[in-house]
Amino acid sequence: MVHSPGKDAHDAVHNAVVMEEVARMAWIARGINPQLQGIDDYLMNKYFMRKHGPNAYYGQK
């Protein structure tokens, strides 16, 4: 079980459902290919920082 924040209870439940689906897809992918590697740190940081970093250029600042 994970903590899923949201602006209200409905939003928090929605976020929890989304996280559960992502976890399910990862579990299935690992079942198909046990050697599957996680995303590279460079790529993960690039996509996180484009929205949340000091020079954000995607979404809300």
Domain-wise residue ranges, the chain: 9-52
Q: Residue 60: is its pLDDT beyond 90?
A: no
What average pLDDT does this structure show over 8-12? 93
**How many other C-beta atoms can be found within 10 angstroms of the C-beta atom of residue 29?**
11
The Cα–Cα gap between 24 and 49 comes to 26
* Token pair of 37 as six digits: 């590697």
Q: Cα(32)–Cα(35) distance, rounded to whole angstroms?
A: 9
Global pTM? 0.64
21: left (phi over 0), alpha (psi -120 to 50) or beta: alpha
Average pLDDT, the chain: 90
Percent of the chain past pLDDT 90, that is, above it, reads: 66
Q: Read off the pLDDT band of 61 (50, 70, 90).
A: low
H/E stretch holding 53 reads none
